[in-house]
Amino acid sequence: MSCGDVVRQGSSPVYLVIDQLQGIRGAVSAGTPSSTLISDVITNVTSPDPCTTASPCPTIFGDNGQVTLRAPLKDPGATAPLSPTTNNEVTISRYHVDYIRADGRNTPGVDVPYGFDSAVTGTIPAGGSLTLGFELVRSAAKSETPLVQLKTSSNVINVIARVTFYGADRVGNNVTVTGQIGIEFGNFGDF
């Protein structure tokens, strides 16, 4: 019997699956998760003082992401279904984000924001799923090239964010999974 790449990857008896990867637009109030992130590089805030409707304060917000993960068994059982145990629980401990463009212009800090690593912690229960929030676009990226130039421009930069999550099962086997989400960066006005 032949085996696919997933079965041959790593020594863990489970593999990670992304059921859903979404972006949440940063702003004063909580945004709604979406399959494509509309990332505003500047938001005009009208409160608290001294910010007003007549004299708004330009403010930069980072954008968050939300992911739903599962860790199914690589071998579900040939004759009788196998059930996962607590040894098959996976704790996610960190993630990495990098950005690419479809036109091939991918130089970090020139064509796309710099990639970054960060920490996030959550445990996928045996046979269950886990939803985690994480930072998808750092607020600092909106003060760096190429995003800072969008504050005074009508241009839009379309990128694909590749997000890789890293974890380990209860017996120490490493597991990873990568997902992608589209992001449109621009000065979209406030609504």
Q: What's the pLDDT tens digit per position in 126-137?
A: 999 999 999 999
Nearest to 58 by CA among 151, 149, 145, 150: 151
Structural domain includes residue 171: yes
pTM: 0.90
Residue 36's CB is within 10 A of a number of other CB atoms, namely 12
Share of the chain above pLDDT 70, in %: 92
With 0-12 / 13-18 / 19 or more C-beta atoms within 10 angstroms meaning exposed / middle / buried, residue 153 is exposed
Relative to beta strand 116-124, strand 90-100 is: antiparallel
Q: What's the pLDDT tens digit per position in 21-55?
A: 999 998 756 678 999 999 999 998 888 899 999 99
Domain harbouring 78, CATH code = 2.60.40.10
Structural domain includes residue 81: yes
Residue 145 has pLDDT above 80, yes or no: yes
Structural domain range at position 124? 5-186
Confidence of residue 7 (pLDDT cuts 50, 70, 90): very low
Distance CA 123, CA 109 (A): 34
Nearest to 110 by CA among 153, 54, 156, 149: 149
Structural domain includes residue 191: no
Distance CA 57, CA 183 (A): 25
Torsion of CA 26, 29, 60, 98, to 10 degrees: -10
Which amino acid is located at 101 in the chain?
R
Question: What is the domain count for the chain?
Answer: 1
Q: What pLDDT shows up at residue 85? A: 86
Q: Is the CB of residue 53 less than 8 Å from the CB of residue 46?
A: yes
Distance CA 169, CA 167 (A): 7
Nearest to 57 by CA among 40, 42, 72, 76: 42
Distance CA 33, CA 66 (A): 7
Structural domain includes residue 94: yes
The two three-digit tokens of residue 64, written as one number: 């968050």
Structural domain includes residue 140: yes
